[in-house]
Amino acid sequence: MQKILIDGGGTLRGTVKVSGAKNSCLPVLMTTILAEGEHRIRNTPDLVDVRTTCKLLEGLGAEVSMARGTVRVAHNGLSSHEAPYDLVKTMRASVVCLGPLVGRYGRARVSLPGGCAIGARPIDQHLKGLEKLGAKVSLSHGYVEVTAKRLRGNRIVLDQPTVTGTENLLMAAVLAKGETEIRNAAREPEVLQVAEVLNQMGAKIEGAGTQSIWIQGVDSLAPARCTVIPDRIEVGTLMVASVMTGGKVLLRGARADHQTALIEKLTEAGAIITVHEEGIHIRAPGRPKPVDLTTQPYPGFPTDMQAQFMALMAVADGTSIISEHIFENRFMHVSELNRMGAKIKFEGARAVVQGVRHLSGAQVMATDLRASASLVLAGLIARGRTEIYRIYHLDRGYQRLDKKLRKLGAHIRRSQAQPPTTVT
Ligand code: EPU
């Protein structure tokens, strides 16, 4: 078990190259279920969740190897159609194998993901959509079982846009008979990438990236060859880090068109952001101004950046209100930020953040992936030393964030640690 140690106070300066997007890479790896042959996925981030997905594919019968950022997946038909509890309990996104398994093999048995630190996170929309395509869905012994002879295209209207739900249904519908329409689809860049990869494999999808997606089913697909898009949440986290420390940073490979909502909010907070061919440059001349925000599905402000933006607002020159509209329990970082001297109060689904001039280093506990990132950001500017425990959450979704920050001048390192015992 490791902890992160940060001695706060430095200013971030320099250039850092952005990694591939976790939330794109995971569903893109699942597209390999849909076609026999050898698939190559480039620019894959080296993350715990990516390795878990590779294990899942191996468990299904594929040969998987990873070298220098390229994952090679090869199979001549999968021998299993089951995602077991041991894998799903460590990574909810395992559920994204449901759609491709039932679309290609007519059978899938996947451990039902439970709730997690940030909310209940049901998968009813995934299952409702698969039923609309003609699948039979049953639940037993903690597993969801989906069967179908061949799926049949239909119109699916989602109750709310769901990212992995849309990806699952896209992957189910590409081999279905006839046309499928997904209405109220998620529009995230990661969904668009999944559709583009599927089209490159021979699928016929139109409208991805908008609220209505049309899929004309085909009989078979060719192996995937693709490059994972840059991670917009890693980019956002590093943008906030440079604003908090009053730094000047170039994020090489970052795509500004994926960051519109964040760029708008950071600009309101006083950051000066310029977009170059090679990436995004960001600097911040002084203490951030307070900014209110509400998380929304893309292209709105991402829930995956809420905790990090709250760390920024914790030291803003005034009071801001941050409302969380996607996940009901995504404020676990608040009490830890308060232990570092922040003044944040909950009011239902919103947090009132009264900016303070300084935070102070403390021992804090990470509770989920993005909450861990917010504690790292707070540690960068806190007076004294911050020790962050349970950083395995961070390693699930950031490829060596500490190394990237160190390259930019932060005093951050890892050391071995026993986590402090928690009291219930
Ligand atoms: N929802 C339902 N029923 C469903 C599906 C979703 O009620 O069947 C609800 C959820 O409970 C939530 C909302 O719909 O309130 C949106 O959830 P969504 O399904 O879009 O989330 P997800 O697909 O499970 C992905 C990302 C999350 C990110 C969310 C929102 C992946 C692997 N995960 O999750 O990423 O927060 O979209 O953008 O793509 C992270 O990277 O830290 C992370 C949690």
3-state SS, the chain, equals CEEEEEECCCCCEEEEECCECHHHHHHHHHHHHHCCEEEEEECCCCCHHHHHHHHHHHHHCCEEEEECCEEEEEECCCCCCEECHHHHCCCHHHHHHHHHHHHHHCEEEEECCCCECCECCCCHHHHHHHHHCCCEEEEECCEEEEECCCCECCEEECCCCCHHHHHHHHHHHCCCECEEEEECCCCCHHHHHHHHHHHHCCCEEECECECEEEEECCCCCCCCEEECCECHHHHHHHHHHHHHCCCEEEEECCCHHHCHHHHHHHHHCCCEEEEECCEEEEECCCCCCCCCEEECCCCCECHHHHHHHHHHHCCCCCEEEEECCCCCCCCCHHHHHHHCCCEEEEECCEEEEECCCCCECCEEECCCHHHHHHHHHHHHHCECEEEEECCHHHHHHCCCHHHHHHHCCCEEEEEECCCCCCCC
Per-residue pLDDT, 424: 53
Q: Which ligand 1 atom is at minimum distance from the Cα of 327?
A: 15
Longest dimension (CA), the chain: 63
Q: Which positions are annotated as active-site residues? A: 116
Per-residue pLDDT, 120: 73
Structure tokens at 134: 């003609």
Give me the tens of pLDDT residue by residue for the chain, a chain 424 residues long: 899 999 999 899 999 999 999 999 999 999 999 999 999 999 999 999 999 999 999 999 999 999 999 999 999 999 999 999 998 888 889 999 999 999 999 999 999 886 667 777 889 999 999 999 999 999 999 999 999 999 999 999 999 999 999 999 999 999 999 999 999 999 999 999 999 999 999 999 999 999 999 999 999 999 999 999 999 999 999 999 999 999 999 999 999 999 999 999 999 999 999 999 999 999 998 899 999 999 999 999 999 999 999 999 999 999 999 999 999 889 999 999 999 999 999 888 899 999 999 999 999 999 999 999 999 999 999 999 999 999 999 999 999 999 999 999 999 999 998 756 665 5
22-227 shares the fold of 2-19+230-416:
yes
Chain centre to alpha carbon of residue 33: 21
Domain 22-227, CATH: 3.65.10.10
Where does ligand 1 bind, in terms of residues with CB under 6 Å? Answer: 23, 26, 93, 119, 121-126, 160, 162-165, 186, 190, 303-304, 326-327, 369-370, 397
Residue 181 forms beta bridges with which residues? Answer: 155, 214
Per-residue pLDDT, 118: 72
Minimal-distance CA residue to ligand 1 atom 31:
23
| Residue 184 Cα to ligand 1 middle (Å) | 14
Burial of 219 (0-12, 13-18, 19+ CB in 10 A): exposed
Per-residue pLDDT, 88: 87
Per-residue pLDDT, 419: 59
Per-residue pLDDT, 418: 74
Q: Which ligand 1 atom is at minimum distance from the Cα of 167?
A: 23
| Residue 207 Cα to ligand 1 middle (Å) | 21
CA–CA dist 207, 213 (Å, integer): 5
- Considering Cα of 378, then 379, then 384, then 387, what sign does the dihedral take? positive
Q: Which ligand 1 atom is at minimum distance from the Cα of 128?
A: 8
2-19+230-416 under CATH 3.65.10.10, yes or no:
yes
Per-residue pLDDT, 356: 98
| Residue 45 Cα to ligand 1 middle (Å) | 20
Do residues 81 and 123 lie in contact, with contact meaning Cβ atoms separated by under 8 Å? no
Q: Which ligand 1 atom is at minimum distance from the Cα of 302?
A: 38
Residue spans of the domains in the chain: they are 2-19+230-416, 22-227
Nearest to 332 by CA among 110, 154, 30, 117: 117
| Residue 424 Cα to ligand 1 middle (Å) | 28
Per-residue pLDDT, 347: 86
Among 127, 326, 394, 395, name the best residue to mutate to test ligand 1's pocket (greatest count of ligand atoms within 8 A of Cβ).
Answer: 326
